[in-house]
Amino acid sequence: MMSGQIYSRLCAIACAVMLMGLVSSVAVGAKVCIDKDPDGTLFGNLKQGDIGEGGETMCGPVAAVNGFLYLQRKYPQHFNSYLIGDKDDDGEPDTYEDMKKVAEILGGLSYMDCGPGGVSYNRFIDGKYAYMEEVAPGKTKYRAQSYHEYGGDHDWVADKKPPEIDFLVDQLKGCAAVEILIAWDVQSDEPKAHYVTVVKLCWEDANGDGKLQPGEEATIEFIDPRSGQREMGELTFEVWDEETFILIGYEEVPGSGLLVDAYVTMIMSQNIPEPATVVFMALGGLVVLIRRR
């Protein structure tokens, strides 16, 4: 029988090969898409409004939980049901009710400490890490980029500069679970922010280099905690104080059709310990190991 570790590595290889094939040889002007869930069966659909009291500020925990279900379904022999499980003790793990309870746990003082103002980027990063390492220790590779200064202890967080599009693309290509924090009205007296879980990224590759660059038309799809559904926005770039920011056209008021330019201020990803790119390079060794078993 194939071990869970080898199975997880092969899942990562398959994902990397599939997605790398989409961007390795791109014709000039071709559309490139990285879709981590083409069948719509992997991500959670939890709505923050279903959490109950305080749910209106629970976008951070809810975005994290929707990503947890993706990790469990993408790598079932690696994560099993460790991240969600049977929290309501009804004998059936990973149900909608279980997801709600995990979001409530994540929003508590021990993890993200979600309050009337929501969850700060520091608490999101540290709280998600703390929870995942408690329920599934040593099973996850973490990376993050934050525009704001990070005050925690994790050296895998790059801070004090805008999150980079190449980083986002690489994490999606590696089949990681990816949450982003978007912010708008940033120069007003009442700035706003919201967490979402990224599913898909597409762009018109004008020069055929397989990279997303300013000037190329792009869209991003994500699970929005407000609806629990897959939403889409236009992705553009803006240079501000000589720094390049990723912008997303986001419908602040659902159903209004009115979009705001939301800045991506934080990206956090979680994947199996061996990043898909590294495992891909070790493919030959893995094949030999499997044959010997």
Confidence of residue 257 (pLDDT cuts 50, 70, 90): confident
Residues 34-64: tens digit of each pLDDT: 999 999 999 999 999 999 888 899 999 999 9
Mean pLDDT value of segment 222-240: 96
Residues 258-271: tens digit of each pLDDT: 899 999 999 999 99
pLDDT over threshold 80, residue 14: no
Percent of the chain with pLDDT over 90: 74
Mean pLDDT value of segment 246-267: 92
Domains in the chain: how many in total? 1
pLDDT score recorded for residue 169:
97
Q: Which of 15-19, 61-65, 106-110, 207-211 has the lowest mean pLDDT?
A: 15-19
pLDDT over threshold 80, residue 23: no
Strand partners, 194: 182
Number of neighbouring beta carbons within 10 Å of residue 167? 17
pLDDT score recorded for residue 281:
38
Residue 148 amino acid letter = H
Strand partners, 205: 30
pLDDT over threshold 60, residue 290: no
At 4 the three-state DSSP class reads helix
Identify the CA nearest to 161 among candidates 50, 263, 59, 66.
263
pLDDT score recorded for residue 240:
85
Mean pLDDT value of segment 269-274: 89
Residues 188-219: tens digit of each pLDDT: 888 999 999 999 999 999 989 889 999 999 99
**Computed from CA positions of residues 210, 213, 218, 219, in that sequence, does the dihedral angle turn out positive or negative?**
positive
pLDDT over threshold 90, residue 235: yes
Percent of the chain with pLDDT over 70: 83
pLDDT score recorded for residue 8:
53
Residue 167 amino acid letter = F
Residues 157-169: tens digit of each pLDDT: 999 999 999 999 9
Structural domain containing residue 122: 4-292
Identify the CA nearest to 68 among candidates 157, 18, 128.
128
**Which residue would you say has higher pLDDT here, 252 or 104?**
104
Mean pLDDT value of segment 110-114: 96
**Computed from CA positions of residues 98, 224, 193, 204, in that sequence, does the dihedral angle turn out positive or negative?**
positive
Residues across the chain: 293
For residues 199 and 214, what is the distance between their CA atoms, to the nearest angstrom? 21
Residue-averaged pLDDT of the chain: 87
pLDDT score recorded for residue 274:
67
Residues 127-162: tens digit of each pLDDT: 999 999 999 999 999 999 999 999 999 999 999 999
